[in-house]
Amino acid sequence: MRTIVMTGATSGLGAVAAQILVAAPDTRVLVGTRGKQVDGAELAPLDLARLDSVREFARTVRERLGDTKIDALALNAGIGSSGKHGTTEDGYEEVFATNHLAHYLLLRLLAPQLSSAATVVVTTSDTHDPRINKVAGPRHAYADLLAFPPAGGRRSALDGFRAYSSSKLCNLLTARGFARRAEAEGHHLCVVAYNPGLTPETQLNRDASPVVHTLSRTLVPLVRRFVHINTVDEAGRTLADLTLGVARPPRGRIYASLVRGELTWPDPSRVAQSDDAMTSLWTESASLVGLD
């Protein structure tokens, strides 16, 4: 029996992937959710905006599994940017806390439960790369600065998008950092940072303004005629393939990018390849979530 733990399985590409995982033979899928159902999966409460909820979810997983190991961990959930400075109950900027800190903490807490040769997939985005995201690419990956941005009411759309792209850079650096740790190398874990590409039919912008939603509904069908935009089905199937080990990285690669419906393994951005950025983010994030 293969055991998979997943976040972000209730909508968008995650919902597509979850149904494929649930349908796989001899597979047990445990999903963290804020109340939505995932047919065929075991559910446990999880609110990624609350670090105590992340800790409780990890305890629940460990209690349910007992001595059973986790064969795949898919950290897929995320929120998009909004026009205001949101703060979690822990006091951190909400996009950074939800997309990065919560998954960093969950990865650290569940790492001892991973089986030998287990797979870890962390969903990132090509918006982390200033070569692609020329409008609002991340400026840095300093956790302390991202967790406590300058106070204020509303923020510009660019600032909101930069908060999102910065959190995705942190996801990629976290995947790299975990892959370098002795526990990952010693147990031959397969770690992948997955970019599903431009996939508009997700819930990332659920908190965006009505204007943004209107433009998205209007422009996406027009743009799709001229530019290949990945469908939710394509992105979800690829996430499932990576989680199940059907698709595996070439030697020395960790960044998986879905381009025109095809899985590629390019170099991430220069900052994402920085060992200094990787190490400092890992250390600062540990301090923020109360780990060594």
pLDDT for residue 83: 66
pLDDT for residue 153: 61
Is the Cβ–Cβ distance between 86 and 93 less than 8 Å?
A: yes
Report CA torsion sign: 220, 225, 226, 230.
positive
- Alpha-carbon distance 138 to 133, whole Å? 9
The residues facing 28 across adjacent strands are 3
- Alpha-carbon distance 41 to 159, whole Å? 37
Q: What is the CATH number of the domain that holds 87?
A: 3.40.50.720
Mean pLDDT of the chain: 91
pLDDT for residue 156: 83
- Alpha-carbon distance 211 to 5, whole Å? 36
What would the pLDDT profile of 173-185 be if each residue is shown by its tens digit?
A: 999 999 999 999 9
What would the pLDDT profile of 81-105 be if each residue is shown by its tens digit?
A: 766 778 999 999 999 999 999 999 9
The parent domain of residue 140 ranges over: 2-289
The residues facing 154 across adjacent strands are 84
pLDDT for residue 279: 98
Q: Name, in order, each residue with C-beta under 8 angstroms of 95's C-beta and a sequence gap of 6 or more.
A: 79, 80, 81, 82, 86, 160, 163, 164, 167
Is the Cβ–Cβ distance between 169 and 133 less than 8 Å?
A: no
pLDDT for residue 200: 75
- Alpha-carbon distance 66 to 289, whole Å? 25
- Alpha-carbon distance 157 to 82, whole Å? 7
pLDDT for residue 227: 54
- Give the number of C-alpha atoms closer than 13 A to the C-alpha of residue 163, restricted to the C-beta side: 30
pLDDT < 50 positions in the chain: 205-206, 208-226
Exposure letters 78-89 (e unless 16+ CB within 10 A, then b): bbbbbbebbbbe
The residues facing 42 across adjacent strands are 30
pLDDT for residue 152: 62
Domains contained in the chain, number = 1
